[in-house]
Amino acid sequence: MSSQVLTAVHWPQALPSPWQAMWGLLRRDLRLALRRKAEWLGAVFFFVVVAALFPLAIGPEPDTLRLIGPGVLWVAALLASMLSLGRLFEADHQDGSLEQMALSAAPLSWLVSAKVAAHWLISGLPLVLLSPLLGLQFGLGSEALAMLALTLLIGTPVLSLLGAIGAALTLGVRGGGVLQSLLLLPLYVPVLVFGAGAVEAQMRGLGAQAHVSVLLALLLATAAFSPWACAAALRLALE
């Protein structure tokens, strides 16, 4: 009799672990991005157009193009990353998903990390992959192209992590896009300086190890701080 009672009882299912919640949210955001291609393809298209138009405007002088190439590509990547920040939390805020994330058993900072990772995979990784091809029209050598891709691989996640803080702080604010730009541009300057500086140092034969080390330090610092800051800002926005 007791065994029949035990089998009839419906025991509650175990809650998913934070890692499972992160992975599920990451897959969900990637699937949504595939359905809304225009939202992230716009940023990639902007990066390509800006990088392609500069050589036409400056002229065909190889030395001039080689000199401005790293800075132009890095500025284009920075602006393209900012273009895709507007919908990072906005859609979830409008449909109530963000409130469910805040009330879930998984830490909100972990879920924010999953959303930032999805944002980088959608809008940051394509820039890294396209950068060597676009760098060819500026006359960059193979070593400079490799350094450009490396610095973007390290720097674009920093842009996404810092951008998530700006997106969380301006969530639901009227005219949040302008305020977001004012908040983020000063934070983006060190990433831009050391990213473009690493490529220039590689081109001059001076070695780019110091610049890359600073970018890695920025990546570690923002990876540790940004999810916590975003979670705190999102809780304030939901109150």
Spatial CB neighbours of 124, under 8 Å, sequence gap ≥ 6: 81, 156, 157, 159, 160
Q: Is the CA virtual torsion 211, 40, 102, 171 positive or negative? A: positive
> Do the Cβ atoms of 195 and 210 come closer than 8 Å?
no
More confident residue, 78 or 90: 78
Express as a percent the part of the chain with pLDDT over 70.
Answer: 92
Residue recorded with tokens 């930032």: 116
Predicted confidence (pLDDT) at residue 141 exceeds the cutoff of 90: no
Residue 14 lies in a domain: no
Average pLDDT value for residue range 7-32: 70
Residue 2 lies in a domain: no
Residue recorded with tokens 């891709």: 149
Residue 111 lies in a domain: yes
Residue 6 has a pLDDT of 36
- Pick from 94, 103, 98, 128: nearest CA to 115: 98
Residue 41 lies in a domain: yes
Residue 90 has a pLDDT of 82
- Pick from 21, 11, 19: nearest CA to 100: 21
Residue 5 lies in a domain: no
Number of structural domains in the chain? 1
> Do the Cβ atoms of 75 and 189 come closer than 8 Å?
no
Residue 114 lies in a domain: yes
Residue 170 has a pLDDT of 85
Predicted confidence (pLDDT) at residue 67 exceeds the cutoff of 70: yes
> Do the Cβ atoms of 101 and 108 come closer than 8 Å?
yes
| 21-41 as b/e: b if 16+ CB within 10 A | bbeebbeebeeebeeeeebbe
Confidence bin at 4 (pLDDT 50/70/90): very low
Residue 13 lies in a domain: no
Domain range enclosing 39: 19-238
Confidence bin at 16 (pLDDT 50/70/90): low
- Pick from 46, 35, 106: nearest CA to 76: 46
Predicted confidence (pLDDT) at residue 190 exceeds the cutoff of 60: yes
Confidence bin at 42 (pLDDT 50/70/90): confident
- Pick from 215, 221, 232, 43: nearest CA to 121: 43
Neighbouring C-beta atoms of residue 136, cutoff 10 Å = 12
Residue 115 lies in a domain: yes
